[in-house]
Structure 1
Amino acid sequence: MLRENTVSGSDVKHPGLKLRMAVSGTVLFAFYMLIATAVWEFVGSAVAVVGLTILFVGVQYKLGKWLALRSINAENLPEDEFDEVHETVARLSDDMGIDKPRLMYAPMGAPNAFAVGRQASGVVVLGTELMQILDDDELEGVIAHELAHLKNRDVLPMVIGQSIAMLFGWGVYFVVNELIGGLTGWILGWIASVIAQLLVTIFVLVISRAREYAADEDAAQYTGNPAALASALAKIGHVNQQVEQSAVNDSVSALCIFGDNRGLFARLFASHPPMEKRIARLEHLD
């Protein structure tokens, strides 16, 4: 049986996360204002700029959730077969003050899990490989981590950040292409667009990594068992390192509890902090 939660459901404060969010958010907003000003000059209406931005982010948010679930063929986790898992999700959701999310499962090629959506319409997906290798306490820690993402509303800031990166990249491309023109303008515009998106993505990744630490800490608090989550992360990291390629694509991997960061370039632009650092922080909480 999964043990009862021994920790109160009071909110966890993350001053470090809030500072990173403030700095990175300010920079992202500055990038947004640059592209918004350029669009404003083109369409001549601030209302149109705001409307187009909201529409773009909204479509990405809704479509992104559907595509993430569709990409791995996620199915509802049967409550009659996995009643303990559903009970654990219900209990932790109640402790965190959020609605119980829809619970799904899917083969991911390696042990993993992720959450998408809002507090009121969230979905937690557990990989079949994950449920096979973790014991009850470890699985509880992973579930608490994913629920913490929903509680902290982590998905929307990431969608907004990625949207700004995409919009900024498009804006840079059109400006460079317009100024230079021809085939040279197209090539230089494309190169400048890639560089611009990478630059903005750096600030998005700062937010993403900080939120992973925060979700780990929240999970440790609400389960009262940081050692179990640390053990789960160690197992997940070990098995994933043995897998050459999982069934999860890059966009979904950024949402998962484990994000592949093999290779120098991958580590520099990883959406997750190194697993060993996450484990060390959890061991310090124990």
Structure 2
Amino acid sequence: MGTTKTFILLAAMTALFMAVGYLVGGALGMGIAFVVALVMNVFSYWNADKIVLKMQGAREITDEERSPVLQTFASDTRALAEHAGMPHPKIYIIDTPQPNAFATGRDPKHAAVAATTGLLNMLNREEVSGVMAHELAHVQHRDTLTMTVTATIAGAIGMLANFALFFGNRERGGIITSIAIMIFAPMAAGLVQMAISRSREYEADRRGAEICGNPAWLASALEKIDRGARSTLNKRAEANPAMAHMYIMNPLNGRRGDSLFSTHPSTANRVEALRKLAADMTVGSMPEAAAANERATGPWG
């Protein structure tokens, strides 16, 4: 259902893009803007992961890493990827006290996952495994590519909407219509983008629970991350709010409920869904590396 909803929303985004292009300059105006958007899309396809990681100040964890905690974190993440039947992603750490994580990359062969130092300090080992399983699910579902495409189309719509005020065809509604397009078209694109993000979070929670083998790990992690994200500032995320939808929890604020303007579902709704899944799921299939620390009650230690 989530995949179907995503395709419907992407179709709506594309239809909105085409409609704004026509209102701005007819077939010619739409064609020019489409070419620009296509160039943006191709560039994003090949380079979005590098741009995102650099903007968030991420550092890759290599085989030469000296920190035992980071070595274990990387090892557990690779074990989860193997359990999911995926190639090993590149693994990054971000130095910020806010607990959070995200994934990026155009496909499973060119993927990266990143966690903050705050996440490793606040969560225990099995909870971290639940979080990284969620991020690997995003990679497996190619959600990161989907969000790149929607962000590109949304940007193109915003560009067209600004053109409407100065270059719009007056025969199609005049200055009032142009102003309305400039205001409401980007807003509508943003709403569709947020709706896509919310639908994919539920799917990644479900698949992530399957990958790590225990929905309770992710449910517990989400509750801790929610509290930490509300009380701790993520300066890099605040400086780049367009990236907020990529994180497992909104790094900018803590809105309650699945409101129209939220990029993520409410934590309570996600936890409830995971608990329902746990009731129907036989726990015990988690990777050995993560299962070894099932009884941990505090940060790594």
Aligned ranges 1:33-44 → 2 under 5 Å = 33-35=18-20, 41-42=27-28
Which has the higher mean CA deviation after the structures are superposed, 261-270 or 220-229?
A: 261-270
Measure how far apart 1:173 and its partner are.
Answer: 2.4
For residues 75 and 250 of structure 1, do their structure 2 counterparts lie closer, same or farther at Cα, with a shift above 3 Å needed? same
Aligned ranges 1:1-286 → 2 under 5 Å = 16-35=1-20, 41-42=27-28, 51-79=35-63, 80=65, 81=68, 82-118=70-106, 119-179=108-168, 192-244=181-233, 246-248=235-237, 249-259=240-250, 260-262=252-254, 267-286=259-278
Residue 3 (structure 1) aligns with: none
Distance 2:33 2:176 in 1: 27
Which has the higher mean CA deviation after the structures are superposed, 170-179 or 96-105?
A: 170-179
Q: Deviations over 1:96-139 (max 9, x none)?
A: 23221110101133011111112111111110110111111101
Secondary structure of residue in 2 paired with 1:268: coil
Measure how far apart 1:206 and its partner are.
Answer: 1.3
Residue 11 (structure 1) aligns with: none
Measure how far apart 1:84 and its partner are.
Answer: 2.6
Distance 2:275 2:93 in 1: 29
Distance 2:178 2:257 in 1: 23
Distance 2:27 2:5 in 1: 32
Aligned residues: 266
For residues 123 and 39 of structure 1, do their structure 2 counterparts lie closer, same or farther at Cα, with a shift above 3 Å needed? farther
For residues 105 and 65 of structure 1, do their structure 2 counterparts lie closer, same or farther at Cα, with a shift above 3 Å needed? same
Distance 1:273 1:24 in 2: 16
For residues 247 and 162 of structure 1, do their structure 2 counterparts lie closer, same or farther at Cα, with a shift above 3 Å needed? closer
Is this contact kept in 1: 2:2–2:200, CA < 8 A?
Answer: yes
For residues 93 and 173 of structure 1, do their structure 2 counterparts lie closer, same or farther at Cα, with a shift above 3 Å needed? same
Distance 1:22 1:174 in 2: 28
Measure how far apart 1:269 and its partner are.
Answer: 1.5
Distance 1:136 1:200 in 2: 38
Structure 1-normalised TM-score? 0.82
- Where structure 2 has 5 or more consecutive residues not aligned to the other structure, the ranges are 279-301
For residues 128 and 27 of structure 1, do their structure 2 counterparts lie closer, same or farther at Cα, with a shift above 3 Å needed? same
Is this contact kept in 1: 2:102–2:135, CA < 8 A?
Answer: yes
Which amino acid is the alignment partner of residue 176 of structure 1? L
Distance 2:44 2:177 in 1: 27
RMSD: 2.9
